[in-house]
Amino acid sequence: MADNKSKKAVPLPPGKPLVSPQALPGERPHERPHELQPALQHPSLYINREVSLLEFNQRVLSMARDKRVPLLERLRYLCICSNNLDEFFEIRVAGLRKQRESDGRGTGPDQLGPSEQLHQIDAAAHQLVELQYTVLNEELLPALADQKIIFPPVKDWSKKMRTWASRFFDTELFPVLSPMGLDPSHPFPQLTNKSLNFIVSLRGTDAFGREASRAVVRAPRSLPRIIPVPFEISGGQSQFVLLSTMIERNMGRLFPGLETRGVYQFRVTRNSDLYLADDDVSDLRLALRDELNARDYGNAVRLEVGDDCPASIVKFLLNQFKLDPIDLYVCNGPVNLGRLSKLPGMLDRPDLNYDSFTPVITKTTVGGKKLFSTLKKRDVLLHYPYQAGHTVVSFLQAAARDPKVLAIKQTLYRTGEHSAYVEALIEAAHNGKDVTVVIELRARFDEDTNIKLATQLQRAGVQVVFGVVGFKSHAKIMLVIRREKGRMARYAHIGTGNYHESNTKLYTDLGLLTHNKRITGDVQKIFNQLTGLGKVANVKTILHSPFNMHRKVIKLIHKQADRAKQGKPALIRARMNSLNEPQIIEALYQASNAGVKVRLLVRGICALRPGVAGVSENIRVVSVIGRFLEHSRVYAFGPDGEEEVYLSSADWMPRNMFHRVEVAVPMLDDKLRLRVLEESIDGYFRDNCFAWELQSDGSYRRVQATGGASAFSSQSHLQAHYQKQAHQA
């Protein structure tokens, strides 16, 4: 479908600054206080969100090629890139196709319509997939073979190996495989999203006298995708066979009496987003259950086939899934690289993994009941994964058992199926506490888990609220109400990451535990708003989406611009996962023009275009990809010694500002504020090992050590810093 209504982004004239056409003679646009500057809204000043997301996955894939990274960790990065690309097609590409079918207009600040975006995605995604298989075949598999970790090709199988494979197929695979012949009475089957399938070319007549030509075989998800070869067969080597290879090799056993002329693996990716008309939903939980049942059978958006698949069969499959050739991805290897993530867990090779790392425990992070007395004296800042993630869990457990605690309130977005947080909340309810949990059922791909957790909590007597219709409850907050000397005392935890124990070992996140009356009072107001009805909560200290965060962030940016115009030092530092909110970007452009130094750490999507003459010369954007997933959100406004610093659950994206319940809490303690800046922002701008700097053309350049500077990894530095701190404690 043509995309005639969309507006193409016009390239910037090389070397020429953009000046607002409304500027008066002799006046530069930034000299007028925060007026609308149409030039700063020019589509060419904004990088497309989807292209930026694919650029992020290029950086992830670069880790699979980095020989400084242990070999099995490199394999994991390859799998992460593959899994990220799956979700990209399931959600982002599926959404663009749906948008193209409706009005076809561009909605982002770059003004690219869905057809234009899909065209750009086609080129970038195909290139990325091709590179993935090049990395696998030319770099990782040879490196694994050098370490005696081998996937022997079928042509090299010994007689003992072939005998073992046949026996394994007969006993372990044959009973659960169901061949589906294709004929007028057996139409092409409805295949689930991302399932491993085989299309088989046959010749002959079956038992009913039917001419056989094609069949489909689906590999059940219960089957292991990687099969270890017994040591007595492999000669003591670590040898493995892919499930796809095992099935292809023995496929003829499923079609006795017929000639198997070819076996070709394929996989279809479907639209996996959930579409709920909030106005029509009377019971969100039931509506979600209905949608989840249909998720595996959404419209197809991508077809992957093995590179040996004939053109005639490729055409047949594209027709079955109603896809175009642009939606085809040819794979020089297994069609789902993400399955290889199981391999490291099947090997006892610590020398090929990252060194073991144990988060430290200090006196202030022991948790438990002692934290109540500690918090009366000072706030406690937690930095995951460098500090132990169980601190907040043990604090919650202590609150559940403390007779002085009367009530506990908590938000849950993603927690995992078996959660110590959930167990502690249930224990608190059993102990007679008033427990309220705001659980977000619409956390993408965790909906089913959250429905089960909600049911479990309700059965235990916990009051469960499913957030607000139309607004995801994404804030990470906890409130404990305790009776102390006849008065009510409040304690709160506000974090940048989810209440998920596994994530605290893998993600970098920050959390604040506080007894501060202003902050805890605001947290209580936000909980009351989430669970009840009423006007906008009158929060005075915390920034709160969707009500005041966007406006206040822009105001804080403008405040720095005003300082710069007055000749005062002005600085903006921030870190987040993604940045594409156009009004915030425009405010940052204005600040840059006014002379404000802007330093941004943006892990993934970044629509802001730095380094453009007359627009963003004072802005640097850096992305760090390392051992841990960078997940903290920190905003800092002001030069050293005068900065206002916030921890937040919110990225600078439209959804976080306008369609989610989010919070940003100020760091009121001077020592903790400086610690946040050094550990979460400033140290990262010294990284010359795993940092990438965004260029004005939307590409990223790896930051290298120059001038004889020593190698510096921000994550490694923090690991060493906290280990040293633990030894000194």
Q: Which residues contact 389 (CB under 8 A, 6 or more apart)?
A: 359, 501, 503, 504, 505
Q: Quick: pLDDT tens for 667-715.
A: 999 999 999 999 999 999 999 999 999 999 999 999 998 888 899 999 9
Q: Which pLDDT band, with edges at 50, 70 and 90, does 21 fall under? A: very low
Q: How far apart are the first and last CA of the chain?
A: 66
State pLDDT tens for residues 367-401.
Answer: 777 889 999 999 999 999 999 888 999 999 999 99
- What is the arithmetic mean of pLDDT over 206-234? 89
CA distance 133 to 146: 19
Q: Please give the CATH number for the structural domain made up of 141-352.
A: 3.30.1840.10
Q: Per residue in 428-458, pLDDT tens?
A: 999 999 999 999 887 787 788 888 899 999 9
CATH class of 363-541: alpha beta
More reliable by pLDDT, 534 or 403: 403
Evaluated on CA atoms 395, 400, 402, 405, the torsion sign reads positive
Residue 460 has pLDDT above 70, yes or no: yes
Contacts of 385 (CB under 8 A, 6+ apart): 357, 359, 504, 505, 506, 507, 508, 628
Kindly indicate the confidence band of residue 605, based on its pLDDT and cuts at 50, 70 and 90: very high
For residue 592, CA distances in Å to 191, 295, 356 come to 52, 45, 43
For residue 452, the surrounding DSSP H or E stretch is helix 447-459
Looking at the DSSP bridge assignments, the partners of residue 487 are: 484
At 236, is the pLDDT very low, low, confident or very high (cuts 50, 70, 90)?
A: confident
Of residues 417 and 175, which shows the higher confidence score?
175
35: tokens are 């007026």
For the chain, percent of residues with pLDDT exceeding 90: 76
Instruction: Say if strands 597-602 and 571-576 run parallel, antiparallel, or are unpaired.
Output: parallel
CB-CB contact of 269 with 301 (8 Å)? yes
Query: CA Rg, the chain, in Å?
Result: 28
The predicted structure's pLDDT at residue 469? 76
Tell me if 42 sits within 8 A of 604, measured CB to CB: no
DSSP string across 663-719:
EEEE--SHHHHHHHHHHHTGGGGG--SSEEEE-TTS-EEE----TTPPP--HHHHHH
Closest to 410 (Cα-Cα) out of 458, 365, 475, 507: 475
In this predicted model, what pLDDT tens digit does every residue of 309-328 receive, in sequence order?
Answer: 999 999 999 999 999 999 99
564 pLDDT above the threshold of 90? yes
DSSP codes joined into one string, 58-82: HHHHHHHH-TTS-HHHHHHHHHHHH
**Side-chain half-sphere of 8: how many Cα atoms within 13 Å?**
8
Q: Are 128 and 85 in contact (CB under 8 A)?
A: yes
Q: In the chain, list all ranges with CATH 3.30.870.10.
A: 363-541, 546-728
Q: Residues with catalytic annotation?
A: 474
pLDDT for res 276: 58
Is residue 724 very low, low, confident or very high in pLDDT (cuts 50, 70, 90)?
confident
3-state secondary structure of 14: coil
Per cent of the chain over pLDDT 70 is 91
Q: For the ranges 182-186, 326-330, 377-381, 593-597, which has the lowest average pLDDT? A: 182-186
**Tens-place pLDDT, residues 30-45:** 333 455 566 899 999 9
Residue 728: pLDDT over 90? no
Nearest residue to 528 via CA among 615, 453, 660, 436: 436
Give the bridge partners for 219, in sequence order: 196
Alpha carbon distance 429, 460 (integer Å): 7
- Count Cβ atoms below 10 Å from residue 484 Cβ, excluding itself: 10
Mean pLDDT value across residues 470-495: 95
The total of other beta-carbon atoms located within 10 Å of residue 218's CB is 16
Q: What is the DSSP string of 118-179?
A: HHHHHHHHHHHHHHHHHHIIIIIHHHHHHTTEE---GGG--HHHHHHHHHHIIIIIGGG-EE
Q: How confident is the model at residue 2 (pLDDT cuts 50, 70, 90)?
A: very low
Quick one: pLDDT band at residue 729, thresholds 50, 70, 90?
A: low
pLDDT of residue 15: 36
**Closest by Cα among 344, 380, 347, 355 to 365:** 380
CA dihedral 383, 672, 476, 341 (to 10 degrees): -20
Provide CB contacts within 8 A for 306, sequence distance 6+: 264, 265, 266, 330, 331, 335
Q: How far apart are CA 626 and CA 624, in angstroms?
A: 6
Q: Which of 209-213, 241-245, 341-345 has the lowest mean pLDDT?
A: 209-213
* Kind plus residue range of the DSSP H or E element containing 180: strand 178-181
Average confidence (pLDDT) over 490-518: 95
pLDDT tens per residue, range 607-641: 999 999 999 999 999 999 999 999 999 999 999 99
**Which residue in 271, 234, 267, 252 sits closest to 333, CA to CA?**
267
Tell whether the model's pLDDT for residue 16 goes beyond 60. no
For 546-728, which CATH class?
alpha beta
For the cut 90, the answer to whether the pLDDT of residue 62 exceeds it is yes
Predicted local confidence at residue 275, as pLDDT:
65
Distance CA 241, CA 694 (A): 41
| Tally of CB atoms within 10 A around 542 | 26
Give the HSE-up count for residue 220: Cα atoms under 13 Å, Cβ half-sphere. 10
Interior CA angle at 342 toward 338 and 343, to 5°?
A: 110
CATH 3.30.1840.10 in the chain is located at 141-352
pLDDT band at 27 (very low <50, low <70, confident <90, very high): very low
Please return the burial class of 688, using the count of CB atoms within 10 Å of its CB with bins 0-12, 13-18 and 19+: middle
**Residues 422/462, Cβ–Cβ less than 8 Å:** no
Going 643 to 647 to 652 to 656, the CA torsion angle's sign is: negative
pLDDT at residue 287 in the model: 63
Instruction: Classify the C-alpha dihedral 484-490-495-501 as positive or negative.
Output: positive
Q: What is the pLDDT of residue 637?
A: 98
Confidence of residue 725 (pLDDT cuts 50, 70, 90): confident
| Threshold 0.85, pTM exceeds | yes
